[in-house]
């Protein structure tokens, strides 16, 4: 590989020798023309005829001989140089569209070879495939000189792909490059070296890019869609040319298509993780039908780390894995443990999406743009000055299902090196799909400087009520409640490509209760002590304060500062809020009925160095709804604030989340407590003066919330 990189320029120069007038054979026309499988947009074609481009809602004037500009977004440059807009002119269908297409192709092939931007083989591959797919539209009736120059350009640029691959393209874009090479191979069979090089490289790329469960190595649903589309186009080219389909190619399509189906919400669009967008559901369906004959949805995706839970009309997606491997993590977002939730065809809780605009693209990678716990001053990702991951967080997950109900426990330690502790999230989806509950906690730290964000889809209407928020869809009404103060803030949504204003619910833990006044003097004399959670992880309170971002994270912090203006829309000022402080009003949480938790399913643990052994408790025999855990949390907080003693060991989150009626009401012994015995009590010597001990700081209770479908 190093030798090939050293000789890259020489190989590229040799490849771009003009075959006209030389020993190479240049046919007068393609032996086989292709057919583009995807529809175009006539509105974009109409703009092109008027010498304008319309890309992702932005209109730009086209300049003669200008194919690149430093001010252009990378995605726009790829679109313009890739000539995929030929399908938009073809969709328009007018003679003016045909003339415009021929004119722009003539401008490209009329450039001196040394000035053509051909350094990216993926753009070259897209361009060659587009030229051959629309040859009949813009070139068949052209003069001989134009067609001869076009055929020479096809040969030269196909050679450039051979010279640059496989080093110069990675991910699904490498498939685009190979698709262009295959297109020229079947169109100009007199050059067999094109087909032989394609067959040699395609197996290698498939093995590198597709995991065992069919998911793409980048963990980006958008990349999954693009990769499946490239596979579908290759299959179509081979079938049109009546060439045998490579076994690896067919197997990859059969695995990747079900994985893509598993990444779709009820509306048919993609889930929004790691830089993906919704995409047009009809286009996704067309791609799937072209790639594979089956209509199977992948039951699980253990390699990708995405969790898909369905119950009734409800659908839950969760990101339960770390970033993609080195070299494939360019689209990685800091949204680990985030989730999306939809009911029927309506998305309710979402992530913010992705953008091709540089400022927004970076801002949307932060935790604040995801439905997840967020520590504004910290980042779970640490990058060095080159932008590579300096430290990859460890992510664990445990999953169980029973009778249609699902339980999921996820953790990651991305905040731990910076003193933020280990983030733990538990989710429970009821068997009828009408209840979604969660528990959020930072373990190993006493910090309360965090919030939990729930971004809402723009079509959701929100009404603030006394004890929560009512979320209205077109057909349903959901009640959102929490055991901590909840606020309604502004947010943005870029799932459809364009920025749309929306709302988010933000949960903030209350401040720690002050110690009783009678212990104030004793506290002044007492030796500083460490929080139990901090001691458990080998940190003291001072250690947590002293933890700063590592030196090699400076570049990443600079990026945070540079994109502060874009993050302003993700970290807005609070607009309204709800804070329940009246413990006597616990009865208002009565709609939070409890489903029987799963108990006997095996846990699915992967991406874990320290697997979680927490399992839900057994369901109540009659499945009667016990008292709300929100009320139980309030009772515990009230005990802590009034100075009442807490048990030596608090119940685990799973034990509290799925508590039995007796446990929820406090009648059962807490986990770790000791039953009353007949042993005599020990008394202190009256002659000794006992030194006042500082009161134990109550540990922070998990942030609990619930989303319940309201039925009449």
Report the alpha-carbon distance of residue 658 to residue 626 in Å, rounded: 10
Q: What is the pTM of this model?
A: 0.78
Report the alpha-carbon distance of residue 481 to residue 472 in Å, rounded: 14
Q: At what angle do helices 172-187 and 221-240 cross, to 10 degrees?
A: 10
Considering the chain, what is the average pLDDT of its residues?
79
| Cis peptide upstream of residue 347 (ω within 30 degrees of 0) | no
Average pLDDT over residues 292-306: 87
Report the alpha-carbon distance of residue 120 to residue 171 in Å, rounded: 13
How would CATH label the architecture of 305-582+602-615+704-712?
A: Distorted Sandwich (2.70)
Distances (CA, A) of 67 to 111, 117, 152, 223: 11, 8, 20, 25
- The string of pLDDT tens digits covering residues 98-135 is 999 999 999 999 998 888 899 999 999 999 999 999 99
Whether residue 533 is predicted with pLDDT greater than 90 in this model: the reply is no
- The string of pLDDT tens digits covering residues 670-687 is 333 333 333 333 434 444
User: In the prediction, which pLDDT does 471 show?
Assistant: 98
- The contacts of residue 23 (CB under 8 Å, 6+ apart) are none
What secondary structure does DSSP assign to 494-534, as a single string? BTTSS-EEEEEEEE-PPPPPPPPGGGHHHHHHSPP---HHH
Report the alpha-carbon distance of residue 20 to residue 30 in Å, rounded: 16
- Tell me the CB-side half-sphere exposure of residue 692, using CA atoms within 13 A: 13
User: In the prediction, which pLDDT does 24 show?
Assistant: 60
| Site of tokens 């606020």 | 487
Whether residue 438 is predicted with pLDDT greater than 90 in this model: the reply is yes
Output Rg (C-alpha) for the chain, integer angstroms: 30
User: In the prediction, which pLDDT does 701 show?
Assistant: 82
User: In the prediction, which pLDDT does 301 show?
Assistant: 86
| Backbone phi and psi for residue 277, each to the nearest 5 degrees, phi listed first | -125, 175
| Backbone phi and psi for residue 126, each to the nearest 5 degrees, phi listed first | -65, -40
User: In the prediction, which pLDDT does 578 show?
Assistant: 55
Nearest by Cα to 108 from 142, 164, 154, 58? 154
Q: Give the pair of three-digit tokens for residue 359.
A: 């400022």
Which helix (H) or strand (E) segment is 55 a member of?
strand 52-55
Q: State the pLDDT confidence band at 156, using cuts at 50, 70 and 90.
A: very high
User: In the prediction, which pLDDT does 621 show?
Assistant: 33
Name the more confident of 215 and 390.
215
Name the more confident of 573 and 52.
52
User: In the prediction, which pLDDT does 272 show?
Assistant: 98
Name the more confident of 276 and 542.
276
Whether residue 211 is predicted with pLDDT greater than 90 in this model: the reply is yes
Three-state SS letters, 484-495: CCEEEEEEEEEC
Report the alpha-carbon distance of residue 434 to residue 311 in Å, rounded: 8
Least trusted range by pLDDT, from 332-341, 377-386, 399-408, 608-617: 608-617
- The contacts of residue 75 (CB under 8 Å, 6+ apart) are 55, 56, 356
Whether residue 339 is predicted with pLDDT greater than 90 in this model: the reply is yes
User: In the prediction, which pLDDT does 553 show?
Assistant: 39
User: In the prediction, which pLDDT does 576 show?
Assistant: 55
- The string of pLDDT tens digits covering residues 368-391 is 999 999 998 888 987 777 667 778
The residue extents of the domains of the chain are: 21-168, 305-582+602-615+704-712
């Amino acid at each position: 590989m190093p030798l090939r990189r050293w000789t890259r320029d020489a190989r590229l120069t040799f490849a771009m020798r003009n075959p006209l007038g030389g020993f190479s054979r240049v046919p007068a026309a393609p032996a086989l023309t292709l057919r583009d499988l995807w529809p175009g947009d006539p509105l974009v074609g109409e703009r092109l005829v008027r010498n304008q481009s319309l890309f992702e809602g932005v209109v730009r004037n086209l300049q003669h001989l200008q194919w690149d500009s430093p001010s252009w977004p990378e995605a726009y440059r790829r679109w313009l140089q890739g000539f995929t807009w030929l399908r938009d002119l073809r969709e328009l269908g007018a003679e003016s569209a045909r003339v415009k297409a021929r004119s722009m192709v003539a401008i490209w092939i009329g450039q001196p070879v040394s000035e053509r931007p051909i350094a990216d083989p993926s753009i070259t591959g897209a361009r060659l495939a587009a030229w051959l797919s629309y040859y009949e539209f813009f070139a068949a009736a052209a003069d001989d000189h134009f067609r001869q120059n076009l055929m020479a350009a096809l040969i030269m640029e196909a050679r450039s792909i051979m010279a640059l691959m496989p080093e110069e393209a990675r991910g699904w874009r490498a498939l685009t490059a190979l698709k262009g090479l295959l297109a020229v191979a079947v169109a100009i069979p007199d050059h067999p070296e094109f087909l032989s090089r394609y067959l040699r490289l395609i197996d290698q790329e498939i093995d590198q890019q597709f995991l065992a469960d069919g998911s793409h190595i980048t963990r980006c649903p958008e990349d999954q869609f693009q990769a499946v589309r490239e596979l579908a186009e290759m299959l179509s080219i081979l079938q049109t040319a009546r060439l045998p389909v490579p076994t690896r190619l067919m197997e990859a399509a059969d695995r990747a298509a079900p994985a893509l189906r598993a990444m779709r919400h009820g509306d048919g669009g993609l889930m929004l993780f790691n830089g993906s967008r919704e995409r047009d559901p009809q286009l996704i369906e067309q791609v799937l039908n072209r790639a594979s004959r089956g209509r199977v949805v992948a039951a699980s995706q253990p390699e990708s780390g995405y969790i898909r839970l369905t119950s009734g009309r409800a659908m839950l997606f969760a990101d339960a894995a770390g970033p993609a491997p080195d070299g494939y993590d360019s689209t990685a977002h800091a949204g680990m443990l985030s989730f999306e939730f939809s009911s029927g065809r309506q998305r309710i809780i979402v992530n913010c999406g992705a953008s091709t605009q540089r400022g927004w693209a970076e801002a949307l990678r932060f935790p604040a743009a995801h439905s997840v716990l967020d520590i504004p001053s910290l980042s779970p990702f640490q990058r060095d000055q080159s932008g590579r991951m300096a430290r990859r967080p460890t992510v664990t997950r445990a999953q169980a299902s029973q009778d249609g109900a699902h339980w999921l426990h996820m953790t990651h330690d991305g905040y731990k090196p910076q003193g933020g502790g280990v983030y733990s999230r538990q989710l429970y989806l009821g068997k009828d799909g009408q209840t979604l509950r969660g528990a959020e906690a930072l373990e190993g730290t006493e910090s309360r400087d965090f919030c939990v964000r729930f971004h809402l889809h723009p079509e959701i209407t929100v009404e603030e009520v006394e004890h929560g928020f009512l979320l209205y869809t077109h057909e349903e009404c959901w009640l959102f409640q929490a055991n901590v103060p909840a606020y309604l803030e502004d947010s943005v949504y870029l799932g459809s490509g364009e920025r749309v204003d929306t709302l988010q619910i933000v949960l903030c833990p209350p401040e720690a209760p002050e110690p009783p006044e009678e212990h104030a003097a004793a506290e002044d004399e007492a030796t500083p002590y460490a929080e139990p959670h901090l001691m458990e992880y080998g940190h003291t309170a001072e250690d947590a304060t002293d933890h700063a971002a590592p030196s090699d994270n400076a570049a990443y912090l600079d990026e945070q500062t540079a994109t502060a203006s874009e993050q302003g829309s993700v970290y807005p000022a609070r607009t309204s809020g709800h804070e329940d402080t009246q413990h006597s009003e616990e009865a208002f949480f009565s709609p939070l009925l409890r489903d029987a938790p799963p108990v006997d399913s095996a846990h699915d643990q992967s991406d874990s160095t320290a697997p979680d052994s927490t399992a839900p408790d057994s369901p109540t025999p009659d499945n009667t709804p016990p008292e709300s855990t929100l009320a139980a949390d309030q009772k515990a907080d009230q005990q802590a604030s009034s100075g009442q003693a807490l048990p030596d060991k608090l119940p685990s989150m799973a034990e509290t989340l799925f508590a039995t009626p007796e446990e929820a009401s406090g009648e059962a012994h807490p986990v770790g407590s000791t039953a009353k015995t007949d042993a005599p009590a020990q008394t202190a010597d009256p002659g000794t003066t006992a030194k006042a001990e500082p009161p134990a700081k109550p540990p922070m209770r998990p942030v609990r919330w619930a989303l319940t479908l309201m039925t009449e």
